[in-house]
Amino acid sequence: METAEVVVGEYGIDIAKFPTEKEFVKHIGLAPHRPVTGGKVVKYARKQQKGTRTAEALRHAANAVQNSRSALGAYFRRMKRRTNSGTAVYATARKIGQQIFRMMRFGQDYVDIGQAEYEALYEKMKLRALKRNAKENGYRLVKLEGVTA
């Protein structure tokens, strides 16, 4: 609730000035910054930017969701396994910011599908990518039935 108060206090209830959610999360300071020219990264140091109150509130919300049994909690833990805690907080805060934008701009309801459903969708997505990569390289995946370890 406090996060919503910070967002509404800083931007109001009409965020039509941001045409896309990418521009919204960039404005609040949760978009990655990698200056690229000619296909090469020109600076490797992170941009020192002053964070907004909204970004800070979203990072606190992301940190609070890490132990929950929600889809956001499962996303946080998956990001934490892949990278580190700081990156997971940043990525989850960005995801929360995108959902807030959709709720405020388009009136979209937030529906939590839960941890189990999120993990099942993620596994399905991984399997689809694995099949596609195997097919591109001339292989065929066959599921092993009844094999015990």
pLDDT digit string, tens, across residues 72-92: 888 898 889 888 888 888 899
Average pLDDT of the residues in 53-68: 88
**Cα torsion at 33, 38, 39, 40 (round to 10°)?**
-70
pLDDT digits (tens, 9 = 90+) for 40-54: 877 666 656 667 888
**End-to-end alpha carbon distance in the chain:** 49
Tokens 């890490």 -> residue: 66
Predicted TM-score of the model (pTM): 0.75
Confidence (pLDDT) at 142: 83
Four-residue CA torsion sign, 120, 121, 125, 128: positive
Where are the chain's structural domains?
2-136
